[in-house]
Amino acid sequence: MIQSQLSMCQNASQPNTLVSYQPTLYCMSRCVRHLVWLPWSQGALKAQQHGPSAAYPPKSVAYRLKKQICLRAKFFFILMVLCLYQLPLAAQWQRPLIDSLQALLANGQCASAECIAVFNELGWQYRRVNLDSGLHYLSQARTLLEGRPYDTLRYQHDYNRGTLLRYQGDYPASIAYLEACLAFAQGSGDTFREANSNYALAISRLENQEYALALQHVQRAHAIFQDLGLVDRELGSLNVMATVLKECHNYTEAERIYQKAIGIAEKLNNEYQLEPLYNNLANNYSIQQKPELALTYYRKALSINERLVDNSGIAIAKGNIANVLFDLGRYAEAKDYLEAAINLRAAMGVEEDLVGYRGRLGALNIYLGQSKLGLQQLEDNLAIARAKGYKNEERAILDHLVKSTRENGLYQVSALYAQEYINYLNKWHSEVLAERIDELNAKYQKAEQDQKIAMLSTINELQHARLSRQCLLLYGGGLVLLIFAGLLFAIYRLYRQLNRRNDALQQALSEKETLLKEIHHRVKNNLQVISSLLNLQAFTVKDQAAQAALREGRARVQSMSLIHQSLYRKDNLTGVNVKEYLQQLCESLLATYQLRRQHIQLRTDIAPITLDVDSIVPLGLIINELLTNIFKYAFPQEQQGRIDIRIVENEQGLELLVCDDGVGIANPADLLAGNSFGYQLIQAFQHKLNADLEVKSEDGTQVRLLIRNYQKAA
């Protein structure tokens, strides 16, 4: 069985030794091959027991000091380590690798890819000789890989180390390295390496009793191997898949997959694949209490081993057949097979397997009637098992002693051994229970530690997030304040600029108003001078017509003078209040024509509007002409009368209505068609103001002017 093969391997390579002189290297290579293809036996895969190791070992002294020492010192260190491994080895495969490594070191290429590859290969090959030596070489590769990106060299190192750690029984570390390999393969799109990593992870998780995850990994590996057409690796993945199902007690499905793999291997006539498959299927039948089927496939495995002249495989197969025949009660046949297996194991020098086989032979001798010989063999091998610490063999021999002596009537002897067996089981259960408790305590402490770490990590993350948020708020608030301050400063600058512009505009406007007032004042003064001159001229002229013409001219000048007088006396330099202006104009005309208020009644109804200069000047001159005509012709010989002046603003425009109750006009049409200067002036301003002029003579004279083009003062 596998446990026996492992014992042979352990004897062939003692711990902490770099060289093995045992003549069983071929046996050990077969054992390793069986371990790859028969991963169901967890105890058999523990080639070395040194306790758990970290996923990534601590850096070597050479690496920690590599920045302080020169390349020559590092070269000397590696060469010194290499010299320790130049002792004679049982096999010759190391020699070319050592020579290659020496050549690389001699050329100063101690950190080259070739050097790392050689260390990786040495570590991988030493798995067949000594796990400690293999891990040591891989540590050298690990040192050289520091600082390099994860590449194929790092992948090969992690894959090799993960496999050797699995052989050592350090499954968590093995899984950590192999998961790194899987991540690299998936990230680089390398499906072959992805399948290999999944396959190796499946075995490690299987041995660590993580069956669900192991099944996922091996199914993924099988799918990729099948797509790539790699039949040998596909068979290997089917073997592991069936083994996982067997460990999950799904024996029917495991049998189906074993048979499927066997069918493929038989078509290819691949005996190297068939032998472990036959053995595994036989184990599956043996667990299901189907000894005849188990015996059939054990014999098929034996036939292949005999054709391949594989003594290790022959010994295992014959031992398995002997076990089945023993269970079937065919003791004589079982003894023949068992003695043959013992002879082969003795030639190989695997003591632990020999103890187990010889103990079973003693039980067979008791069943065959040779009680004394059988008891002696059992007791001798029990003493060896206890002395060597072979726990499994000790338990098996005690079980044989109790059963064989009881079934052969040796009840007192059986009772003694039964009590001893019970003591052993109690002790074993106590040890297992203590180990389990220690394991659970370790898991609990680790879980508690992980929980504390996770809690501290969460607290740190929350604190970091809070600090980040506070910093963000602080920076954001500062930025907002800075932007706000910038905006305030910009607004302040704009406000100051606007104030300066407003001050300049106000000053310019004030200067303009002053200038306009000065202009209006000067124009008014000039018009007053002209009015005075016309008045003086009228006194010196004797002709009545000339005096009348001068008086009318003076009235016209006076009407314009009143406008400029209103402009420079008021704050509004562009507009004139119509009501105030017309009152002054009427008073001026009354004075000009020396009319008294008791003779003429003047009534006004003027809207309180302010007109622009361009509109008030023609309007004032028109009113001046109309009032002049009324004063001259409407009331002869100081006849009393009434004059109405009305100005209103309606939807049609600005309406001017001047009425008197004087003598009237015989024919208003003739008046409008006349060529007097006054009415020509009215018609000119009528066109300028876009006005309609209407004259009626009913109980006096009515003149209506509807102005459409006029402008109010701003």
- The CA distance from 267 to 276, in Å, is 16
Higher-pLDDT residue of 44 and 349 is 349
> Residue 392 is encoded by which pair of tokens?
């499994």
pLDDT of res. 714: 67
Please give the full DSSP string across 190-252, using - where no structure is assigned.
Answer: -HHHHHHHHHHHHHHHHHTT-HHHHHHHHHHHHHHHHHHT-HHHHHHHHHHHHHHHHHTT-HH
Q: How confident is the model at residue 169 (pLDDT cuts 50, 70, 90)?
A: confident
Tell me the pLDDT of the chain averaged across its residues.
77
Report the pLDDT averaged over residues 149-163: 93
- pLDDT beyond 50 at 8: no
- The winner for highest mean pLDDT among 111-120, 253-262, 439-448 is 253-262
Q: Among 45, 33, 47, which Cα is nearest to 279's?
A: 33
Report the pLDDT averaged over residues 495-500: 90
- The winner for highest mean pLDDT among 63-77, 132-146, 203-217, 416-430 is 203-217
- Going by the DSSP 8-state scheme, the letter that residue 156 receives in this structure is H
3-state secondary structure 452-517: HHHHHHHHHHHHHHHHHHHHHHHHHHHHHHHHHHHHHHHHHHHHHHHHHHHHHHHHHHHHHHHHHH
Q: Among 445, 402, 310, which Cα is nearest to 302's?
A: 310
- The CA distance from 333 to 343, in Å, is 16
Buried b (16+ CB within 10 A) or exposed e, 401-410: bbbbbeebeb
- pLDDT beyond 70 at 652: yes
Share of the chain above pLDDT 90, in %: 24
Find where tokens 């850096």 sit.
59
- The CA distance from 426 to 393, in Å, is 16
pLDDT of res. 62: 32
Tens digits of per-residue pLDDT, 369-394?
Answer: 887 888 888 888 888 878 877 777 77
- The CA distance from 495 to 497, in Å, is 5
Q: How confident is the model at residue 53 (pLDDT cuts 50, 70, 90)?
A: very low
pLDDT of res. 227: 93
Q: How confident is the model at residue 23 (pLDDT cuts 50, 70, 90)?
A: very low
pLDDT of res. 18: 29
Q: How confident is the model at residue 567 (pLDDT cuts 50, 70, 90)?
A: low
Residues in the chain: 714
3 state DSSP class of 270: coil
- DSSP H helices, 38-145, are 61-64, 71-84, 94-106, 113-125, 131-145
Please give the model's pTM, rounded to 2 decimal places: 0.49
Share of the chain above pLDDT 70, in %: 77
Let me know if 131 is exposed, middle or buried by CB neighbors in 10 A (0-12, 13-18, 19+).
Answer: buried
- The CA distance from 401 to 413, in Å, is 9
The lowest-confidence range among 16-30, 433-447, 631-645 is 16-30
Identify each DSSP E strand in 563-639 by its residue range.
Answer: 575-577, 600-606, 610-612
The amino acid at 326? F
Tens digits of per-residue pLDDT, 237-251?
Answer: 999 999 999 999 999
Find where tokens 């690796």 sit.
233
Tens digits of per-residue pLDDT, 300-336?
Answer: 999 999 998 888 889 888 989 998 998 888 989 988 9
Contact predicate 129/90, CB 8 Å:
yes
